[in-house]
Amino acid sequence: MSRKQLDMTLLALAGLISFGLPLLIESPTYLQILILLFFYAYLTTSWNLVGGFAGVLPLGHAVFVGIGAYTSTILALQFNLSPWFGMLVGGMVAALVGVAIGKPTFRMRGAYFALCTIAFSEGVRVMIENIDSLGPIKFNGPRGLLIPLKGESFWNYQFMHKEPYYYIILTMLVLVLALTWFISRSKMGYYLAAGGDEPDAAQALGVDVAKYKLIALGLSSFLTALAGTFYAQLMLYFYPKGILGLDLSFEIAFIALIGGRGMIAGPLIGALVLRPLNEFTRIYLSNQLPGLHLVIFGLILILVMLFQPKGLTLPLTRLYDRLASKITTTGA
C-alpha cells in the first residue's frame, strides 16, 4: 500500500465513521456532545483563517456568532423569513462588520489588535443587553431570544431529533475544512502566511498585506455567523452573555492554540481534545467543585504551551508519519 493510498483509506474511514455515528449512538446527550464538538471545530476553523493563517490573534469572534444568531432569529420571528435565508443575511452582515472593524485595527500589531477585538465584542454585548427594542426590532435585552417550537420543518430549520442537526453541522465542518485546505494552497494562503510571519518583508515585496487580511477576516466573519444561526436553531434559545460573551471567544482561541494555529487539522484536533474534556468534567465534577473544569482547562493549556507551543497537531503528524512509513514499508 502506498502512502497516498493509506492517507485516502484513513480519510474515507474517518468520513464513514463520522457519517455513520448517529446510527450507533442512541443517547441524544452523547449526540449533542458530538454536535457541539463539531460546532466548535467549525467555529475554530473559521477563526483559523484569520487567527491562524494571517497570524493575528482575534479574541472577539463571539460577536460574529451573535450577529448570525440575532439576524436570522429576528428575521424569522418578526419578519417570518426562513432561518436558512436569515443565515445568509447574518453572514453578510457579519462580513461587513468584520471588514469595518478590521480596516482600522489591522494596523495594530500583537496584543493591541487582540485588545481591540475584545473591546468591540464586549461593547456589542453590553449594548444588546441594554436594548429591549430598537424601532420594530425586539432584542429583549439580557433575557435573549426564544424561538417558539413549530414542529419538524426544514423551512423553519427545526427538527425534533438530533440527527438532522448532526448532519448539518458535520457537512458545514467538512466544507469549511475543505475551504481552508484550498485557501492554504492558493496564492492567498501564501500571502496571508507571509504577511503574518514577516509583515515588513511581505510589504517590501509589494504584497498588500492589509488587503488579504481584510478578505480573510470578511470570510471568517461570514462563516462564523453561519454557525451562530445553527446554534440558535439547535438550542432554540440564546442570550447575549452566552452567544456574544468572552467565554465563547476565548474557547475558540483555546481550541486553536491547543490544536495548532494555522494548521488545517488544528481546530479539529483541538476540539477533539478539549470538548469532551469540557463536557465530562462539567458533568462529573461541577457538583463537587464548581469551576474545577476551568482550572483543568487552564492547566492543560499551560502544559501544551510549555511542551508543544505550536499545538498538538505537529507532534501527532510526526507520530502518524512514523507509523505510516512502518506500515507502508512492511506492506510492500
Partner 1 sequence: MPLLSVENIDVFYGDVQIIHGLSLIVKEGEVVSIVGGNGAGKSTLLRTISGLLQPRSGTIHFKGEAIHKMAPERIVERGIVHVPEGRKLFSLMSVADNLHMGAYTPKAHKLRGESLRKVYDFLPRLSERQKQTAMTLSGGEQQMVAIGRGLMALPVILMLDEPSLGLAPIMAKSIFDLLRRIADTGVTVLLVEQDVGHSLRLSDRAYVLEHGKVALEGKAEELIDNKYIKSAYLGM
- Tell me how far, at minimum, the Cβ of 316 lies from partner 1, in Å: 17
Site map (CB under 8 A) of partner 1, residues 132-171, x = contact: ----------------------------------------
* Residue given cell 492567498 in the structure block: 188
207 binds partner 1 (CB under 8 A): yes
- Tell me how far, at minimum, the Cβ of 205 lies from partner 1, in Å: 5
216 binds partner 1 (CB under 8 A): no
Pick between residue 67 and residue 202 the one whose CB is nearest to partner 1: 202
- Binding segment for partner 1 among 22-30, 103-111, 173-181, 200-208 (CB under 8 A)? 200-208
- Tell me how far, at minimum, the Cβ of 194 lies from partner 1, in Å: 5
In one-letter notation, the amino acid at residue 199 is P
Among 104, 135, 148, 206, binds partner 1 (CB under 8 A): 206
- Tell me how far, at minimum, the Cβ of 213 lies from partner 1, in Å: 14
- Tell me how far, at minimum, the Cβ of 191 lies from partner 1, in Å: 8
Strands 145-146 vs 237-238: parallel, antiparallel or unpaired: antiparallel
Pick between residue 282 and residue 310 the one whose CB is nearest to partner 1: 310
308 binds partner 1 (CB under 8 A): no
- Tell me how far, at minimum, the Cβ of 122 lies from partner 1, in Å: 28
84 binds partner 1 (CB under 8 A): no
Element (H, E) at 218: helix 209-235
Q: Which of 278, 259, 261 is nearest to 316 (CA)?
A: 259
Q: Which of 51, 61, 89, 92 is nearest to 73 (CA)?
A: 89
3-state secondary structure of 145: strand
321 binds partner 1 (CB under 8 A): no
> Quick one: CA dihedral 47, 49, 51, 52, positive or negative?
positive
Pick between residue 68 and residue 102 the one whose CB is nearest to partner 1: 102
Element (H, E) at 238: strand 237-238
Pick between residue 202 and residue 216 the one whose CB is nearest to partner 1: 202
Q: Which of 141, 138, 160 is nearest to 28 (CA)?
A: 160
Angstrom distances, CA of residue 317 to CA of 222, 232, 277, 323: 30, 35, 22, 10
In one-letter notation, the amino acid at residue 89 is V
Interface positions, 179-198, toward partner 1 (CB under 8 A): 190-191, 193-194, 197-198
Provide the strand spans (E) within 57-176: 133-134, 137-138, 145-146
For residue 41, with 0-12 CB atoms within 10 Å meaning exposed, 13-18 middle and 19 or more buried, which class applies?
A: buried
C-alpha cell at 311: 499545538
309 binds partner 1 (CB under 8 A): no
Site map (CB under 8 A) of partner 1, residues 41-70, x = contact: ------------------------------
Among 201, 295, 296, 305, binds partner 1 (CB under 8 A): 201
- Binding segment for partner 1 among 27-35, 107-115, 123-131, 203-211 (CB under 8 A)? 203-211
> Quick one: CA dihedral 318, 322, 324, 329, positive or negative?
positive
Residues that bind partner 1 (CB under 8 A): 190-191, 193-194, 197-198, 200-208
